[in-house]
């Protein structure tokens, strides 16, 4: 699952997404489902005879939904899960009759060109590099004329395609496989799968796409505190050691529940190099004492000084692609203002120790 999808799912659970973001989430979830299904098919056909990785980025240039190395070739399988009929005619792509502005076949062609160039750079110049566009949604049709360079495969033909690839790779038997005459990549049974895969993985990189950074509108909407990952319930019973949901599917140590929430918020703050205890206290909605959070942070994250304050390094930090100074200031300011009010309430509350046990 991509970082972008993880962030959107976390925000969705906490009710913080805009309409547009909800739409994006649905699209990414469908893609994720397509990838998972395709992976299952590859594993069922090839078993242990291939090396396969899901959702790989190479050199921040090429995204492979599924990167497969057989004894005959390297395959980049691009999974599509379109909610509509797809047609490709004379180099133009249509989705339910209307032409797509971003043509997935041409985009895939560009990505394959880059992949071949990258493979050449890492010493795989004599290894066949191949690709397929695979349309997985069973409810819609795919029709493609001969003008495409890369094969497009509809769901009904996926298994046949994989079986052909396995046969070509000598599947199971001591086949002839691929014989390039190269001493480095070839073995008598075809490509040295692990060697080829390890060469490709020297190019592995982060995704080119950034998850949406947390903005003020998210902060205003977001549900804070611990919640049940199983049913989404926001009213968990929190005792001294255990967090429990009335649905019966979630019972976990308090330490683990808080640690998971801490990691979630750190991931959402991926444009921020450091984390402050006060921010996490805010995120947990005042349900967990600062000392408890601080201990978890000290145990798991690296401490660093920021002026007079001790802060923690955010392991999810990823340098943003734009200037984000103003956003960071706005966010810090928002959290600070809202924490102050919350702290005031707490101080005027009758008994602060009741807080933990009173919650339902």
Using the contact rule CB under 5 A, the part of the chain among 19-27, 115-123, 242-250, 283-291 near Zn ion is 242-250
245 makes contact with Zn ion (CB under 5 A): yes
Of residues 104-143, which lie at the interface with Zn ion (CB under 5 A)?
Answer: none
235 makes contact with Zn ion (CB under 5 A): no
- Provide, rounded to whole angstroms, the least separation between the CB of residue 221 and Zn ion: 21
Burial of residue 292, with CB atoms counted within 10 A of its CB: 0-12 exposed, 13-18 middle, 19 or more buried: middle
| Closer residue to Zn ion, CB minimum distance, 9 or 122 | 9
Q: Which residues contact 9 (CB under 8 A, 6 or more apart)?
A: 25
Q: Residue 226's closest CA among 1, 18, 13, 16?
A: 13
DSSP string, 281-321: HHHTTT-S-HHHHHHHHHHHS-EEEETTEEEEE-TT----S
Look up residue 197 and give its two tokens. Answer: 């895969």
- Provide, rounded to whole angstroms, the least separation between the CB of residue 232 and Zn ion: 7
Query: Contact, 86 vs 94, CB < 8 A?
Result: yes
Of residues 173-232, which lie at the interface with Zn ion (CB under 5 A)?
Answer: 228, 230-231
Straight-line distance from the first to the last Cα atom of the chain, in angstroms, rounded to the nearest whole number: 33
| Closer residue to Zn ion, CB minimum distance, 89 or 231 | 231
Q: Which residue has the tokens 């799968």?
A: 193
- Provide, rounded to whole angstroms, the least separation between the CB of residue 252 and Zn ion: 11
| Closer residue to Zn ion, CB minimum distance, 250 or 316 | 250
| Closer residue to Zn ion, CB minimum distance, 245 or 262 | 245
Q: Which residues contact 321 (CB under 8 A, 6 or more apart)?
A: 210
| Closer residue to Zn ion, CB minimum distance, 193 or 245 | 245
| Closer residue to Zn ion, CB minimum distance, 156 or 247 | 247
CA separation for the pair 99, 91 (Å, rounded): 11
- Provide, rounded to whole angstroms, the least separation between the CB of residue 15 and Zn ion: 16
- Provide, rounded to whole angstroms, the least separation between the CB of residue 293 and Zn ion: 23
Query: Contact, 46 vs 245, CB < 8 A?
Result: no
DSSP string, 243-281: EE-TTSS-EEEHHHHHHHHHHHHHHHTTT-SEE-HHHHH
Of residues 288-317, which lie at the interface with Zn ion (CB under 5 A)?
Answer: none
What percentage of the chain's residues is helix, strand, coil (to nearest 5)? 40, 20, 40
Using the contact rule CB under 5 A, the part of the chain among 28-36, 245-253, 319-327, 331-339 near Zn ion is 245-253
CA separation for the pair 153, 98 (Å, rounded): 21
- Provide, rounded to whole angstroms, the least separation between the CB of residue 97 and Zn ion: 44
Query: Contact, 204 vs 57, CB < 8 A?
Result: yes
237 makes contact with Zn ion (CB under 5 A): no
| Closer residue to Zn ion, CB minimum distance, 64 or 284 | 284
- Provide, rounded to whole angstroms, the least separation between the CB of residue 233 and Zn ion: 4
- Provide, rounded to whole angstroms, the least separation between the CB of residue 9 and Zn ion: 16
Of residues 247-286, which lie at the interface with Zn ion (CB under 5 A)?
Answer: 247, 250
| Closer residue to Zn ion, CB minimum distance, 165 or 258 | 258
Interacting residues with Zn ion (CB under 5 A): 228, 230-231, 233, 245, 247, 250
């Amino acid at each position: 699952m991509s970082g972008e999808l993880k962030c959107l799912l976390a925000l969705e659970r906490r009710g913080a997404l805009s309409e547009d973001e909800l739409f994006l989430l649905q699209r990414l979830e469908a893609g994720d489902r397509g990838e998972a299904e395709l992976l299952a098919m590859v594993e069922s056909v090839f078993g242990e005879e291939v090396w396969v990785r899901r959702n790989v980025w190479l050199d921040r240039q090429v995204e492979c939904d599924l990167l497969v190395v057989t004894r005959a070739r390297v395959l980049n399988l691009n999974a599509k899960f379109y909610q509509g009929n797809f047609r490709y005619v004379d180099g133009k792509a249509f989705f339910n009759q209307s032409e797509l502005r971003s043509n997935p076949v041409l985009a895939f062609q560009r990505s394959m060109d880059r992949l071949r160039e990258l493979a050449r750079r890492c010493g795989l110049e004599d290894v066949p590099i191949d690709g397929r566009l695979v349309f997985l949604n069973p409810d819609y049709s795919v029709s493609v004329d001969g003008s495409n360079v890369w094969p497009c495969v509809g769901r009904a033909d996926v298994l046949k395609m994989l079986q052909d690839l396995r046969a070509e790779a000598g599947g199971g038997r001591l086949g002839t496989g691929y014989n390039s005459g190269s001493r480095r990549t070839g073995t008598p049974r075809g490509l040295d799968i692990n060697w080829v895969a390890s060469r490709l993985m020297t190019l592995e990189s982060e995704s080119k796409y950034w998850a949406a950074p947390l903005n003020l509108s998210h902060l205003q909407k977001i549900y804070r505190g611990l919640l049940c990952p199983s049913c989404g319930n926001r009213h968990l019973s929190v005792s001294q050691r255990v967090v429990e949901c009335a649905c019966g599917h979630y019972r976990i140590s308090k330490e683990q529940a808080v640690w998971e929430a801490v990691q979630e918020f750190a991931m959402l703050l991926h444009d921020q190099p450091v984390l402050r205890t006060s921010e996490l206290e805010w995120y947990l909605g005042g349900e967990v004492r600062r000392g408890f959070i601080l201990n978890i942070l000290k145990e798991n994250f690296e401490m660093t000084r920021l002026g007079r304050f001790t802060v923690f390094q955010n392991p999810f930090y990823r340098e943003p692609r734009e200037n984000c100074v103003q956003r960071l200031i706005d966010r810090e300011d928002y959290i600070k203002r809202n924490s102050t009010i919350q702290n005031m309430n707490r101080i005027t509350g009758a008994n602060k120790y009741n807080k933990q046990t009173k919650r339902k």
